[in-house]
Amino acid sequence: MSFAHDYLNRLTPFADQLPKVKALHLPPLEAAGSKNGEFCALELEDGSLGLAYVLLDDTLKKLIDASPGQSLAGMDAMELARQYVTAQGTLKTLGFAAANAITRHLFDRAGYVPPDSQDSIGGIDPQAGDRVGMIGYFCPLADRIVAAGATLTVVELKADLAGNRDGYVVTTDASALAQCNKVLSTSTILLNDTLEAILAACGSARRFAMIGPGAGCLPDDLFARGVTLMGGSWIEDSAAFVDALLSGEGWSKMARKSAITASDYPGWDALVARMRGA
Instruction: Tell me the per-residue pLDDT of 216-227, one tens digit each, with 9 for 90 and over.
Output: 999 999 999 999
pLDDT for position 145: 95
The total number of structural domains that make up the chain:
1
For 129, list phi and psi in degrees, rounded to 5.
100, -20
184 lies in some domain: no
pLDDT for position 240: 97
97 lies in some domain: yes
Distance of CA 228 to the CA centre of its chain: 14
Pairing of strands 131-135, 151-155: parallel
Angle between the N-to-C axes of helices 89-110 and 268-277, in degrees from 0 to 180, rounded to the nearest 10: 60
Nearest partner of 49 among 266, 262, 244, judged by Cα: 244
31 lies in some domain: yes
What rounded mean pLDDT belongs to the chain? 95
165 lies in some domain: no
In this model, does residue 190 exceed pLDDT 90? yes
Q: Domain range holding 41?
A: 3-113+236-253+267-277
Q: Percentage of the chain with pLDDT > 70?
A: 99
CATH of the domain at 97: 3.30.390.100
Pairing of strands 168-171, 163-164: antiparallel
201 lies in some domain: no
87 lies in some domain: yes
State pLDDT tens for residues 217-267.
999 999 999 999 999 999 999 999 999 999 999 999 999 999 999 999 999
Q: Can you tell me the distance from the alpha carbon of 216 to that of 193, in angstroms, rounded to the nearest whole number? A: 17
Confidence of residue 82 (pLDDT cuts 50, 70, 90): very high
pLDDT for position 157: 86
Q: Looking at the chain, which runs of residues are DSSP E strands?
A: 21-25, 39-44, 49-53, 131-135, 151-155, 163-164, 168-171, 182-186, 207-211, 229-235, 255-261
225 lies in some domain: no
pTM, whole model, 2 decimals? 0.95
Do 232 and 213 contact (CB within 8 A), yes or no?
Answer: yes
194 lies in some domain: no
Burial of 277 (0-12, 13-18, 19+ CB in 10 A): exposed
Q: Can you tell me the distance from the alpha carbon of 16 to that of 84, in angstroms, rounded to the nearest whole number? A: 19
